[in-house]
């Protein structure tokens, strides 16, 4: 979808359904074409929120994996010593 074809209300109605990449594409389109500052700010706001959520999930996933491997390693060491 082209961001230029969306008014403010339409943009806010559909924005929550878009993926991080789709929002980034809309942001790029808006920067090249319509250049509406309020729309650019709104798209950037949504993009950074989606990026933050993805990055946080990745970080927490790393922590969970690390904790699992550390816990598993400790259990194995106890069994070997016991």
Rounded to the nearest angstrom, the gap between the alpha carbon of residue 11 and the centroid of all alpha carbons in its chain is 18
Cα distance between residue 62 and residue 2, in whole Å: 36
Q: Is the pLDDT of residue 7 over 70?
A: yes
Please give the pLDDT value at position 80.
Answer: 64
pLDDT tens column, 23-78: 999 999 999 999 999 999 999 999 999 999 999 999 999 988 888 887 766 666 66
Give the confidence band of 15 by pLDDT, cuts at 50, 70, 90: very high
Contact (Cβ atoms closer than 8 angstroms) between residue 46 and residue 19 = no
pTM metric for this prediction: 0.76
List phi, psi (to 5°) of 7.
Answer: -90, 180
Cα distance between residue 49 and residue 64, in whole Å: 22
């Amino acid at each position: 979808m082209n961001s230029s074809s969306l008014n403010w209300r339409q943009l806010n109605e559909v924005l929550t359904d878009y993926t991080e990449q789709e929002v980034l594409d809309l942001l790029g389109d808006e920067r090249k074409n319509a250049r509406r500052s309020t729309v650019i700010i709104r798209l950037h706001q949504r993009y950074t929120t989606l990026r933050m959520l993805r990055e946080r999930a990745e970080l927490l996933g790393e922590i969970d994996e690390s904790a699992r491997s550390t816990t598993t390693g400790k259990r194995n060491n106890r069994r070997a010593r016991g």
